[in-house]
Amino acid sequence: MSGRVAADPVVHAAGAIPWRERGGRLEVALIHRPRYRDWSWPKGKLDPGESVPGAACREVAEETGTPVVLGAPLPTLRYRMPDGSRKEVRYWAARVATDADAAALDARDLVHSAPLTEIDDVVWVSAPTAADLLTRPTDRKPLAVVTELHAAGRLATRVLAVARHGRAKQRSAWTRGEASRPLTAQGEAQARALVEVLSAFGVAEVVTSPWARCLRTMTPYASRTGLTPQQVDALTEDAVRTDPSRAEELVAGLLAEARDAVVCTHRPALGAVLPALSDATRRWTTGTVPDADPWLRTGEVLVAHVAGRGPDARVVAVETHRPPHPQ
């Protein structure tokens, strides 16, 4: 015997706290589950191969009938289920989707509503009423963060995502120039997997290096949404090597304008792109912007949640995702 004790399996789930404002008052959505006779947040287990943000959006749509766009991440809840297994639920604040989110919603798969035997009521209530209704005391923890963000004017956010292209063929195996070096089969799968994540955060604008490996990484999302990628030379490796300030200014502009955009670039360029995001963080920002090479892995995306515009734009939270990518 090795003497090692096998770790308990963890059931991974995702959900969100849908929110809206009515007359300046914050309201959140709760669901009622007749099987458990409880009030809780919409959530559920991940489907095989599903990303965590994608699962959160799907579960909210299934259980409330309302499509949402994820905002700032909230505290993860961990607890034991009745059968003794461990469960981990990741949550986000989630605004109700609008017509402006049509492109991102087009990239999502069709969702079927949960049956009445699973969810028999959905209510929009004030935060204090939600705290009283919630059956599980720990469910008040993410609600408290939503309330704090709203009071501070940081609940309504836009997204600026930075993606590193999918895995590409090795430089030594490609002789036709860096600009045309393509993705591998794994890189193509990573590109397809990003669609679910970018859609979950409501990305409505695609900005990319025109080099093949970046453009191909953004192609699946552009195809599903109907968006036309903006190809910007300043994001290429050559341009950043020559004048990194152009890439820095591009990202700083997107940050100030809060346009729900994704920027796809190369590892060497991330050192110029990410500091612009770091400059907009504050001591209260949740999460950190990577500050060392390689910054992001291939096929990984950093999502910055931004409140305010112009010189007042501030990063409320930072998270990274590298979704599963079945071949």
Alpha-carbon gap, residue 38 to 31, rounded angstroms:
8
Among positive and negative, which fits the CA dihedral 166, 171, 174, 175?
Answer: positive
Measure CA of the first residue to CA of the last residue in the chain; give whole Å: 37
Same domain, 181 and 145: no
Q: 5 falls in which pLDDT band (50, 70, 90)?
A: very low
- Write the pLDDT tens digit of every residue in 188-198: 999 999 999 99
Same domain, 144 and 171: no
Same domain, 171 and 144: no
Among positive and negative, which fits the CA dihedral 198, 45, 298, 305?
Answer: positive
Task: Of 191, 213, 321, 319, give the one whose Cα is nearest residue 266.
Answer: 213
Domain of residue 138 covers 10-151
- pLDDT top residue among 326 and 76: 76
- Write the pLDDT tens digit of every residue in 210-246: 999 999 999 999 999 999 999 999 999 999 999 999 9
Same domain, 73 and 124: yes
> What's the pLDDT score for residue 171?
87
Residue 169, in any domain of the structure: yes
Q: Phi and psi of 80, rounded to 5°?
A: -90, 135
Same domain, 192 and 271: yes
Determine contact, residues 240/247, Cβ cutoff 8 Å: yes
Residue 26, in any domain of the structure: yes
Scanning the chain, the segments in alpha helix (DSSP H) are: 52-64, 102-106, 127-133, 140-151, 185-200, 212-225, 237-242, 245-257, 267-278
Task: Of 113, 324, 313, 97, give the one whose Cα is nearest residue 200.
Answer: 97
- Write the pLDDT tens digit of every residue in 7-66: 568 999 999 999 999 998 999 999 999 999 999 999 999 999 999 999 999 999 999 999
Residue 4, in any domain of the structure: no
Tokens 């290429």 map to which residue? 236
- Mean pLDDT for the stretch of residues 297-319: 97
- Write the pLDDT tens digit of every residue in 125-147: 999 999 999 999 999 999 999 99
What lies within 8 Å, CB to CB, of 50 at 6+ separation is 58, 196, 324
- Mean pLDDT for the stretch of residues 85-105: 97
Beta bridge partners of 26: 21
Q: Per-residue pLDDT for 325 more than 80? A: no
- Domain CATH for 294: 3.40.50.1240
Enter the pTM of the model.
0.95
> What's the pLDDT score for residue 2?
44
Same domain, 197 and 108: no
Same domain, 147 and 178: no
